Amino acid sequence: MKKGDAQQRKMIIDQVISSCENYGFFQIVNHGVPERLMDEMLEKVRMFHEQPAEDRAAFYRRNLAANSSYHSNFDLFQAPSANWRDTFYCKIAPTPPKPEEIPAILRDTLMQYSDHVEKLGLELFELVSEGLGLNQNYLKDIDCAKGWALLCHYYPECPQPELTIGTAKHADSDFLTILLQDNHISALQVLHKNQWVDVPPVQGALIVNLISNDRLKSVEHRVLANLENPRVSVACFFHGTHLEPSTRKYGPIKELLSETDRPKYRETTIYEYTTHYHAKGLDGKSALTLFQL
C-alpha cells in the first residue's frame, strides 16, 4: 500500500474494486498495521471479556449514543433472536474517548491499534474513490471517514452451537468496515451466490467490507457459534456522523449515475439510516430495503 509507485497503486485499486464488485469484501495483508499489535489487540480483548463480572460491570450500558458501552446484543429487544456474543463498543472519532471510557486492561493497546486503523481507513477511502473514477478525496470530503468506532466482540464457547448463532446474517451499517478476526477459529461466513462460504482466518490479514449503490456489494455475512473455544474479533466501523445530528444527505453518488445506471436508493441522512438499522436489529433482512426506489 505504499504510495509512489503509480503502476502498483493502480493494480491494488483494480484488485480492491473487482473484489468488492464480485464478493463484497477483500482481505489485505500489506496494510501497515503491525502484526504484533493485531495479536496484542485480540489478546487484550479476550482478557477484558474474561475478567470477573464485577470488573466489567462498570462499562455495562445499552445506550448506543454513549462514547463507550459494554453490552450483550445491541438489538436484544428488537431482533427476533439473540446472538451468542458480548461486545465492548468505543467511539474513536471525531471525538477521541477519554481514558476512563476505555477499560484499563485494553486502553493502551486499543489507542495504538486505532491510530493505525485510522490511517488505513483514510487510505482505503482514497483508493476506493480513485477506483470508482472519482477524485481521490471524494469519500473523505463527504465525511465518510469523519467518525468511526471500534467493536470488540467476544463469542463464548457454546454447549449447543447448532441451536444458536454468533452473529446473525446482516450487512454492515457503515461506509467501510475493517475487521480483525481471531487467528484460531473459522466461524465467519459470507453469502456468495446464495451459498454460505467460510472466510477462515489468515494470519496478519484484515477484512474490508464496503457499501454502495449495489456496484460494490455490501456483503451479507454471519458468524457461527462454536463449541470448542471462545472467539474474539475487532470490527472498526467507519460510520460517519453516526447518531450525531447532521442534515447531510447520502445517496447513490451522482457522478457515477447515468441513463443506464439509475439510482437504486433514495437519499437519507446517516442518523435516519442508523436509527432504522438499530430499530430493526439483525433480523436477517436488509436495512437498505426501506430506501429502495
Ligand X SMILES: O=C(O)CCC(=O)C(=O)O
Residues making contact with ligand X (CB under 6 A): 151, 153, 167, 172, 179, 181, 188, 221, 223, 233, 235
Instruction: Choose the stretch contacting Fe ion; rule: CB under 5 A; options: 24-32, 86-94, 154-162, 169-177.
Output: 169-177
Residue 153 interacts, among Fe ion, ligand X, none and using kind-specific CB cut-offs from 5 to 8 Å, with ligand X
- Binding of Fe ion by 75 (CB under 5 A): no
Task: Identify which of residues 132 and 219 has a Cβ nearer to ligand X in the complex.
Answer: 219
Residue 223 interacts, among ligand X, Fe ion, none and using kind-specific CB cut-offs from 5 to 8 Å, with ligand X
DSSP state of 253: -
Residue 242 interacts, among Fe ion, ligand X, none and using kind-specific CB cut-offs from 5 to 8 Å, with none
Shortest Cβ distance from residue 2 to ligand X (Å)? 28
Shortest Cβ distance from residue 254 to ligand X (Å)? 29
- Residue 54: CB partners within 8 Å, gap ≥ 6? none
Task: Identify which of residues 145 and 236 has a Cβ nearer to ligand X in the complex.
Answer: 236
- Binding of Fe ion by 172 (CB under 5 A): yes
At residue 147, what is the residue type? G
Shortest Cβ distance from residue 213 to ligand X (Å)? 21
- 269: helix, strand or coil: strand
Residue 234 interacts, among ligand X, Fe ion, none and using kind-specific CB cut-offs from 5 to 8 Å, with none
CB 230 within 8 A of CB 155: yes
Shortest Cβ distance from residue 14 to Fe ion (Å)? 25
Residue 95: C-alpha distances to residues 139, 148, 174, 183 (Å): 20, 9, 18, 31
Residue 46: C-alpha distances to residues 17, 40, 74, 116, 154 (Å): 33, 10, 19, 20, 7
Residue 122 interacts, among ligand X, Fe ion, none and using kind-specific CB cut-offs from 5 to 8 Å, with none
Q: Rounded distance, CA 253 to CA 255, Å?
A: 6
Q: Rounded distance, CA 218 to CA 212, Å?
A: 7
Residue 114 interacts, among Fe ion, ligand X, none and using kind-specific CB cut-offs from 5 to 8 Å, with none
For 249-256, the CB contacts below 8 A with 24+ separation are 250/142, 252/212, 252/213, 253/132, 253/134, 253/138, 253/212, 253/213, 255/133, 255/134, 255/138, 256/132, 256/133, 256/134, 256/213, 256/215
Number of residues that bind Fe ion (CB under 5 A): 1
Instruction: Choose the stretch contacting Fe ion; rule: CB under 5 A; options: 63-71, 171-179, 193-201, 271-279.
Output: 171-179
Task: Identify which of residues 144 and 235 has a Cβ nearer to Fe ion in the complex.
Answer: 235
Q: Rounded distance, CA 17 to CA 108, Å?
A: 34
- Residues lying near Fe ion in the complex (CB under 5 A) are found at 172
